Amino acid sequence: MAELEAESTAPDFWSDQQLAQKKMQEMNSLQEQVGAWEEVRRRISDAQELALMAEDEPELLTELEGEADALAQELERREFDLALSGRYDSGSAIFSIHAGAGGTEAQDWAQMLLRMYTRWAEKRGYKTEITDLTQGEEAGVKSVTVQVSGPNAYGYLRSEKGTHRLVRISPFDSSSRRHTSFAKIEVMPVIEQDIEIEINPNDIRMDVFLSSGAGGQNVQKNATAVRLYHEPTGIVVTCQNERSQTQNREMALKILRGKLYEIEQEKLDAEKARIKGENVAADFGSQIRNYVLHPYQLVKDLRTDVETGNPQAVLDGELDPFMEAWLKQQVGGEE
């Protein structure tokens, strides 16, 4: 905040109006955050004085207890806000679900996860839009990419990145045997054009093809679907759900930009973990949560140990306890 305040007094600060406005908005936001913490500090200082007075005036203890409880709640709320204070946490998200090995069983699990996250988004008033979908051969989906639009969508959804494991009696097994299925969740922030993730147009190769729905029927007579190849990284992005080739290309670029950001973020996280001596791979490509429907009912997050015996509620979108516990853990881990 102090750096931005100093910048704002420079003679040429307003020479770039758009950049200056962006910095002023950031400065105002930081001023609000700092002001809120200063208010907490002031209230704690007043409470400490009240505690000293209460030693001689016991009738003040009730007031002191009330303020201590209120401060504890405010502090917990402010600390949780820190968990959502990452650069892109306040914005929208793009997340993908990929069925693991196991054919139809895993593809059905991916479909169940899509329903779960869609229900969660509805409960929070977020808008969801499927940007790419590959149907399973018999049931479910092989992969699906969804944009979730709303405040703090990325902040919350980044807690879901990783492998999710389901244990149940398979509805596709005539012998009613228990099966284990896996699906992987990827989460990226929606990064707009003005963010400094720059993509060299010469690094991108684009293919266009006919959009197709379930069963392979052509939705459009014209080739509107877009597939982008980012040659330096090998990333491939497809988008076919928009009405025009231009719209599909814009959405595909948005997804690509998010993926490139995730790569850079993972490099930074890996370096932080190396310095701290932590296991970099702990949260990447490994199982983060178990959903057990048989022989008992349990959903357990292996990172935070948060669990519930009501998996149906979780599959209906009750995900906040798991998300919030992980986010709080991140704040605690950075102290």
User: What pLDDT shows up at residue 282?
Assistant: 31
> Per-10-residue mean pLDDT for the chain, 335 residues long?
92 89 86 89 94 91 93 86 84 92 90 98 95 92 94 93 92 84 91 65 89 51 84 91 87 89 77 47 62 96 96 97 92 56
Q: What is the pLDDT of residue 205?
A: 92
Looking at the structure, tell me whether residues 287 and 178 fall in a common domain.
Answer: yes
Is the domain of 250 the same as that of 290?
no
In 3-state terms, the chain is what percent helix, strand and coil (to 5)? 50, 25, 30
Residue 274 covered by a domain: no
Specify if 275 maps to a domain.
no
Q: Are residues 97 and 170 in the same domain?
A: yes
Q: Which of 150, 156, 26 is nearest to 80 (CA)?
A: 156
- pLDDT given at position 213: 54
**Domain presence at residue 276:** no
- Domain end marker among 83, 114, 143: 83
Residue 306 lies in a domain: yes
Out of 21, 51, 83, a domain closes at 83
Query: For the domain that residue 246 is a member of, what is the CATH number?
Result: 3.30.160.20
What pLDDT, on the 0 to 100 scale, is given for residue 273? Answer: 59
Tell me, yes or no, whether 76 lies in a domain.
Answer: yes
Is 157 domain-assigned?
yes
**Residue 145: its H or E element:** strand 141-149
The predicted structure's pLDDT at residue 335: 38
Say what the pTM is: 0.68
pLDDT reported for residue 261: 83
Domain tally for the chain? Answer: 3
- For residue 269, being part of any structural domain is answered with no
Do the domain assignments include residue 270? no
Domain span at 314: 93-191+283-333
Residues 111 and 150 in one domain: yes
Strands 162-169 and 287-292: parallel
Query: Which element (helix H / strand E) includes 93?
Result: strand 93-99
